[in-house]
Chains A and B, each alone.
Chain A
Amino acid sequence: MYSKLKVLFIFLLASSTLARVNLITTTTDIAWVANQLGGEHVNVKSLLNGPEDPHYVEALPSFIHKTASADIFCVIGLELESAWSTKVLKRSGNRKVQPGSKGYCDASKNVEVLGKLETALDRSHGDVHSAGNPHYHLAPSYLVMASKEILRALVDNDIKNKDIYESNFNSLSRNLINLKQENLLKLSQIKNLKFMEYHKEFTYFLSDYKLNNTGSVEDISGVPPSAARIVNVINMIKENKISAILATQNAPKKILGKLVEATGVKVIYSPLSLEDYQSKDAYKNLQNNLINQLVELK
């Protein structure tokens, strides 16, 4: 009898020790950050896999199902996923992760936002994010800023592992800043080149690496450029001697092909988000892929 009780006690103790924080993120990039901060104490799942365009995703019942049992729910923020994440949160019936509660985490909270609109724009300007450009995660310094809110959520929800999370945050910050410094050295060879971006998904990246950003191919955000805009962009590329256009895999290749044909400009493609957020090196690999393509331009 005594031995059975001992086994039960050990089992209960083990279960409570192994109880991990369930953290759901909208995109893979912040899932990767959460994995780096939480390690074995956090069970991280991203609702998206990486290749999707996070603006236009639908609130699938499977997203609601995953969110219903989450302890923490993290969003990129700045209205990037608000069209579907708000619905997911509401329908999950999970009070722990509703906005305002300690399980809700808006990773943009501490980000020094670029592209914040001073004046309100209407929809004739396309898919504008009035709160600012939400595509900060490709820039290491900005990802460190975003990590602070994920750290806050982890500490608030699992205080007993506070030291571990804080130590992991310090380590992550150091690694990201070191990565940036290494890349800055590599990019010093091309610092005089000029770049454009198809959609404003590389604004933070170009700013963080101190590269010249001449503007975006899109005139109206989220709307493919008209024939007149394409002509304007061709002139801009020629006049400003643009070396490359940065684009994600979701950008229309046909339009970019026309620009290449007319000007000989190079197009550098990159996934918008990580596709293997469980891997420790995923972010470094994504950065290296971009940096290596840029360095080849010299």
Chain B
Amino acid sequence: MLKLITLILLTTSSFAADNGGINISGAADMTYEQGLNQSSSAKENFEMRSAELTLYSAIDHNFNGVISLASHNHEGENNFELHELYVENTTFIPRSTIKVGKFFLGVGRINRFHRHDWHFTNTPLVNNSFFAEEAAFDSGAEYNYLLPTETILNLTLGVTIGDDFSHEHDHEEEEEGHDEENEKAKYPTHYLRLSHFKEFSTTKGMETGFNILRKKNAHGEEQTLLGLDYLLKNRVGKRNEFILQSEVWYRDSEEEGVKTEELGAYVFNEYSILDASALGYRLDFLKNLTSTTEQVDYAITGQYTFNSSEFSKLRASISHGFTRSFGNTVNKDTKAILQLVFILGSHPAHVF
């Protein structure tokens, strides 16, 4: 993979005089976790969590292309892998975007964004459990349509092959000896997101999305996910004055006749303070509705973010997670996390 990156960079510099308008962007994400209680799962290590290199440009008058390579820390080693590789058209069908290739699935809120762009450091319990630590991504096609109505409604439909839901899975497969034939999904993953946007002013808006996703993996486990995502944000100048973000997901799984229902949610709220700082908190909840142990996982996180500019941020957070069962606390995990994110190269898009 490193050879591939070198080749891409060399090719880009060789054609610098006529690079066809190619944009190059690099993003780095470093973390340090410190356990604050005995049973903490903190890594207590300064970790280069990810480095991502993205190339994007118009391919020709019809198509845009995106190639994104990311290196993730996996047990001390940084392995580069293909994150995104897709071709996109925005002109064939009015009000539409068609994407074909490998990409983050267009469902929920945080799944549609790279982790270094999130407003918090760690993955919410529900997203980690239902999707992946970073995000669910897969190869397939996605269609996005902005409805021609007075009300601002956006419809996303996607179909993906279903056997590559997350990259964490890839590492396990590599270790176990991946058998491609036996890892094929029983049917393609398919999903829908219908979102509504309400503009309060040119800096303040609210988006609500309804999501449905179905998949059946190689082992015959069939899952139906229903979700609601919500965002209320006021951005004035460089600062997000106020953010209220939430996702609620319900998952129904069935494997070999055994049915499991789970419900999870998070709520995140952040306020801007001083010129470049923000204080926020997040509440997490995850429950197995069919479990006989009445187990519920909770987490509460408080955070401080310093935004040096829109290209770099430093974030400190303290997180306390605990599991309750039959009215007793059975596990506690308290940790402090320091995160540093920076972006090089092309200007990132300002997206709501």
Q: Residues of A at under 8 Å CB distance from B?
A: 47-49, 52-53, 56-62, 64-65, 68-69, 82-84, 86-87, 90-95, 98, 100, 123, 223-224, 250, 252
Contact = CB atoms under 8 A, between A and B. Distances in A.
**Interface range on chain B (Cβ under 8 Å from partner):** 35 or more
Nearest to A100: B61
Contacts of B93: 93
Nearest to A99: B58
27 contacts: A47-B202, A49-B202, A53-B237, A53-B238, A57-B202, A57-B203, A58-B203, A58-B235, A58-B352, A59-B351, A59-B352, A60-B197, A60-B199, A61-B154, A61-B199, A61-B207, A64-B146, A83-B348, A83-B349, A90-B64, A92-B90, A93-B94, A93-B96, A93-B146, A94-B94, A123-B309, A224-B275
Given A69-B148, A92-B146, A62 B205 contact: yes
A62 B152 contact: yes
A62 B351 contact: no
A291 B288 CA distance: 68
Contacts of A123: 309, 311
B111 interface: no
A56 B235 contact: yes
A120 to B, nearest CB: 12
Contact of B91 (A57, A60, A65, A95): A95
Nearest to B62: A95
Nearest to A82: B347
A11 B152 CA distance: 30
A56 B347 contact: no
B150 to A, nearest CB: 9
B178 to A, nearest CB: 36
Contact of A223 (B309, B349, B351, B352): B309
B47 to A, nearest CB: 26
Contact of A59 (B90, B96, B236, B350): B350
Nearest to B195: A61
A68 B94 contact: yes
A90 B236 CA distance: 23
B237 A62 contact: no
A84 B349 contact: yes
Given A61-B207, A87-B351, A123-B311, A95 B94 contact: yes
Given A57-B202, A58-B235, 10 more contacts: A52-B236, A56-B237, A58-B203, A58-B352, A59-B350, A60-B205, A83-B348, A93-B146, A94-B95, A123-B309
Contacts of B12: none
B179 to A, nearest CB: 40
B292 interface: no
Contacts of A94: 94-95
A52 B205 CA distance: 15
Given A52-B202, A93-B91, A93-B94, A61 B350 contact: no
A83 B343 CA distance: 14
A47 B91 CA distance: 22
Main secondary structure of the interface of B (DSSP, over half): loop
Contact of A61 (B201, B205, B237, B347): B205
Contacts of B94: 68, 93-95
A91 B350 contact: no
B237 A250 contact: yes
Contacts of A83: 347-350
B151 to A, nearest CB: 9
B97 A91 contact: yes
Contacts of A95: 90-91, 94
Interface string B47-74: 0000000000000010010000000000
Given A48-B202, A62-B152, A64-B146, A93 B352 contact: no
Nearest to A68: B95
Given A82-B347, A87-B349, A95-B94, A52 B197 contact: no
A58 B95 CA distance: 19
A276 to B, nearest CB: 15
10 nearest A-B pairs in the assembled complex, by CB-CB distance: A61-B197, A62-B199, A95-B91, A84-B350, A87-B349, A93-B95, A58-B350, A93-B96, A53-B237, A83-B350
A91 B94 CA distance: 10
Contacts of A252: 275
Contacts of B96: 93
Given A47-B202, A62-B197, A56 B350 contact: yes
Nearest to B308: A223
Interface string B219-239: 000000000000000011110
Contact of B90 (A47, A93, A223, A224): A93
Given A64-B146, A68-B95, A93-B94, A59 B349 contact: yes
B186 to A, nearest CB: 33
A61 B352 contact: yes
Which among A52, A84, A91, A93 has the highest number of chain B CB atoms within 10 Å?
Answer: A93
Nearest to A94: B94
Contacts of B145: 93
Nearest to A122: B344
Contacts of B197: 60-62, 65
B201 A90 contact: no
A92 to B, nearest CB: 7
B82 to A, nearest CB: 23
A157 to B, nearest CB: 17
Contacts of A92: 90, 95, 146
